[in-house]
Amino acid sequence: MTTRLRYFVVAALLTAGGLVVSGQTPARSPAASAAALHVLPIRGNVFLLVGAGANVTVSVGPDGVLLVDAGDAAMADQVIATVAQLSRAVTASPGPVRPCPGVGAGVGCAGVTYPALLGTIASPAPPKPIQFIVNTNADPDHAGGNAKVAQAGTTFGGGPGLGAFAFVKESAMVYAHENVLARLTAAKVPTAGLPTESYPTDMKQYFNGEGVQILHRPSAHSDGDSIVHFRGSDVISTGDILSTVSYPVFDVAQGGSINGIIDSLNALLDLVIAEYQTEGGTLLIPGHGRVCDAADLATYRDGMTIIRDRVQDMIKRGLTLAQVKAARPTKDYDPRYDVPTWTKDQFVEAVYRSLSQKK
């Protein structure tokens, strides 16, 4: 099935199930719409859930579901319900497989008197379970939903021998860089919300027919960021390294840095392949904001590099933080990226502190 056709089949199934598919205007009550998650088919196995806090990337297919980030704790029930519906819709596409009942039933259900009835009497396939969650960082809008969403899922072939005990329910596995585990542990997050597998560098997983690379980026938004590359679908979840709705958010106290952000944006540029004159090709799902391509990424990288160089130059000339802020090094980008949750002054201060740090 072509990607376009698959989009319409899945979108129709989701809409029929009451989900909001981006680009359509469903008839829902205002209250229901306010709380609804939006589902956007990206490409191949990969979908985007919008409205759960940070962007949640979903790989859905025959192996089940892999999520990149779990969203806010408060949105966990909606994430679970939406993912189940999505999984059911994708599994049912292009059409449900309904085995013929009875002895001797074969291709085309020869011998069944009323084959048309099969669609009525066969049960719909259950949704495939959530098997894996990857946390791109430790923030509550990325990892807050871990506990509930993981418990709604299951892992096949997980812990050694645990399956032998009927009372042990194995939930989905949660992958994160070891610094994310350390940060969530220090924040006294209950065990059920902690990563079950942490890695010091990178991870790989073959899932839903494609290689999934989980790559650690040191010192970007924090010291525990991961980006997730779906190599077959050619989609990359960038976590908070890329945003279309704010300046890059980073915390020097948590190991983040402006140079690490720019290094990571450059590393992403090495991974993306444009389709035509920097447009199209590899798609990127930022931590917050809309889906991007190579051109969006390059434009963001260029802007942040220009601002970094301006602040670096002012530091070299001996300007204080107050003087740097007054000089407005972000002025030409403020209309787009200065937002109440991460203001131009907060960003400039973070850049200043990051560049002034003793190496």
Considering beta carbons, is residue 63 or 240 the nearer one to Zn ion?
Answer: 240
CB of 8 to Zn ion, least distance (A): 31
CB of 137 to Zn ion, least distance (A): 7
CB of 283 to Zn ion, least distance (A): 19
CB of 288 to Zn ion, least distance (A): 6
289 contacts: CB under 8 Å, gap ≥ 6: 55, 243, 244, 245, 246
CB of 129 to Zn ion, least distance (A): 26
Considering beta carbons, is residue 207 or 347 the nearer one to Zn ion?
Answer: 347
Considering beta carbons, is residue 72 or 240 the nearer one to Zn ion?
Answer: 240
In the numeric block, the tokens 């670096």 are attached to 312
Where on the chain is the footprint of Zn ion (CB under 5 A)?
A: 54, 240, 287
CB of 287 to Zn ion, least distance (A): 4
Considering beta carbons, is residue 223 or 240 the nearer one to Zn ion?
Answer: 240
Say if CB 136 and CB 95 are below 8 A apart. Answer: no
Considering beta carbons, is residue 127 or 145 the nearer one to Zn ion?
Answer: 145
The stretches of the chain forming alpha helices (DSSP H) are 3-16, 30-35, 76-92, 118-121, 140-143, 146-152, 178-186, 258-271, 294-316, 321-326, 334-337, 344-356
Considering beta carbons, is residue 210 or 240 the nearer one to Zn ion?
Answer: 240
* Residue 247 DSSP class: S
β-bridge mates for residue 41, sequence order:
47
Cα 316 to Cα 222: distance, rounded to the nearest angstrom = 25
Q: What is the DSSP string of 15-59?
A: HHTT-EETT------HHHHHHPPEEEEEETTEEEEESSSS-EEEE
Farthest-apart Cα atoms in the chain, separation: 88
